[in-house]
Amino acid sequence: MKKKVFLCNEASFLTSGYGIHGKELLTRMHNSGKYEVAELGCYAAADDPRIQEIPWKFYPNLPRKDNAKGFADYRANPLNQYGLWRFNKCVAHFQPHIVFDVRDYWMYSYQETSPFRKYFNWVIMPTVDSSPQQTEWLYTFCNADLVVPYTKWAQYVLKSACGDKINMFEQPALAGINPNEYYPFGDKEDHKERVFGKRNLLITGLVLRNQRRKLIADMLLAYKKYLNGLLISGQNDLYERSYLYLHTTYPEESGWNLPSLLLEFGMMDKTYFTYSCKKCQNIISSKFQNSVVRCPKCNDLACSFPNPSNSITTDKLNEIYNLFDFYVQYAICEGFGFPQIEAASCGIPFASVNYSAMTEICENLGGIKIPVKRMFREMETNADRAYPDIDGTAKILYDYFTKLTPESFKAQSEQVRSKCIKEYTWDKVYEIWDKCFDSIDITTKKPWNSSEQDTTGNEAVPKNLSRYEFIKYVCDVIINEPNLFYSAHVQNLLKDFHSGLVAKNGTITGYGQKEVIEILELHLSSKVANRDLRLNPLLLEEKEDYITCQKPKE
């Protein structure tokens, strides 16, 4: 029997990081013939024509465009965008042996308490970007059937925190590139001349979202210090040829104020950005002009910074990497940091901050480690984050560019690409996941058609129980889900119940048995509501358009 595997993720036809990750894995799983695959695709609408091209079972997470009532329901809970509102119905319909998820914690944590947990193996790959991990998250990781470490660093952090309580796959799954999508151009200087109108420019590139975690202000300052170093040492020719290139987004609601920083550091004339035309998909590399500029190709006022809703294709991104002579990953932490391996695959030598997964990628690919000036504890995440040494960064750039020759570039470029192809390809990533799915014994879970009762019908709770005993009794006997007690959700509930006061929604309020019962009742009613779906999944086909919107394959 083929293993039935279900992925909840951003739709595999989207060009987001998660979308690409899903597409690369699902395509290989489907093509292997070993698996029956299904996908719950976030940000995909039921009437999106791309759904018909997908060769495996696809459930869209967005309603049809004209379904106003559907959109109102969708927006009622912010977790619905991650699949919450459709997850149970889709797994009840597909009835998988394995459900897996590779996204951020808050995007899949709702799956931990699905009433169907005993019918599927729940496999997650947490994006561990720093240490320590939040206590709540650790409960969830220990409660998963299998945790696949993203990197060796993630494996180390999780093992140190959870010990034997976590069931972890022995090999990190990593992430990858396709070497034929990210590759070095033979005519690099011609390419630069086409884009910048000049040859021999020396470009330091960064590919990054404009967000708090990415150190755009510090990078501008480090680059300014590098330029000053060139002027002071009389290297005017290098100074003239040196430019920073930020492939980023602007404006962003909670992002860096680019024009203000460029003015402050005197970097307006020394920094390039990517603009992408919404109308004709033309890409231009330009100094900062505004958030919207006129397209030189179609003459429409339609060029803006690329962002998730105006994203650029892989081949255009490959062209942008090929403008760079050096790549820098500059962030307070990374769970992986894809651009490092994309740049490496394009043969671009790179430097990354010496913390978290960035250290590991540097070590594997021969990248330069940017020294950390100081670690700090971030309040929102209670995790350690790193601030790189700005002077150290300027020195790395100075040493690199003052020694650079066409021959040394060629040698470094070949080396970084060949190491990248050895360590980080999607074929290798799939091999690990394939081994991981092979290792799962699907007979340990209850069959989906089991006639066993889901609930016991018990409703009375004995008197005089302690708070701990009360919640445990409700999980074990009333809801009949012993594992629910160990979930992050119920462990948090127990913590709040014990402490008696909770700070949320702007006030500090009392927390008692009434609140606890209300929350636990939601678990019970979700279980009762979903019970019939498991035994009669075909009922869903009559009621829900997203179950059947994909036409059957011949």
Per CB under 5 A, residues contacting Zn ion are 277, 279-280, 282, 295, 297-298
Query: Minimum CB separation from Zn ion for residue 284, in Å?
Result: 9
Q: Nearer Cβ to Zn ion, position 273 or 424?
A: 273
Query: Minimum CB separation from Zn ion for residue 289, in Å?
Result: 15
Query: Minimum CB separation from Zn ion for residue 317, in Å?
Result: 18
Query: Minimum CB separation from Zn ion for residue 283, in Å?
Result: 10
Q: Nearer Cβ to Zn ion, position 212 or 297?
A: 297
Tally the residues of the chain: 554
Q: Nearer Cβ to Zn ion, position 298 or 404?
A: 298
Measured CA to CA in angstroms, residue 489 lies from 103, 110, 196 at distances of 18, 9, 54
Q: Nearer Cβ to Zn ion, position 134 or 282?
A: 282
Q: Nearer Cβ to Zn ion, position 275 or 288?
A: 275
How do 271-277 and 283-287 pair as beta strands?
A: antiparallel
Q: Nearer Cβ to Zn ion, position 304 or 425?
A: 304
Contact 340, 419 (CB under 8 A): no
513-535 helix and 488-499 helix, angle to the nearest 10 degrees: 160
What CA–CA distance (Å, rounded) separates 71 from 53? 25
Query: Minimum CB separation from Zn ion for residue 312, in Å?
Result: 13
Query: Minimum CB separation from Zn ion for residue 280, in Å?
Result: 3
Measured CA to CA in angstroms, residue 126 lies from 101, 105, 210, 336 at distances of 9, 7, 23, 11
Q: Nearer Cβ to Zn ion, position 297 or 428?
A: 297
- If one counts every other C-beta atom within 10 angstroms of the C-beta of residue 91, the result is 27
Query: Minimum CB separation from Zn ion for residue 247, in Å?
Result: 18
At 244, which helix (H) or strand (E)?
strand 242-247
Give the per-residue SS3 of 409-451.
HHHHHHHHHHHHHHHCEHHHHHHHHHHHHHCCCHHHCCCCCCC
**CB proximity list for 159: less than 8 A, separation 6 or greater:** 166, 168
Query: Count of alpha carbons within 13 Å of 510, Cβ hemisphere only?
Result: 3
Is the bond preceding 251 in cis, omega lying within 30 degrees of 0? yes
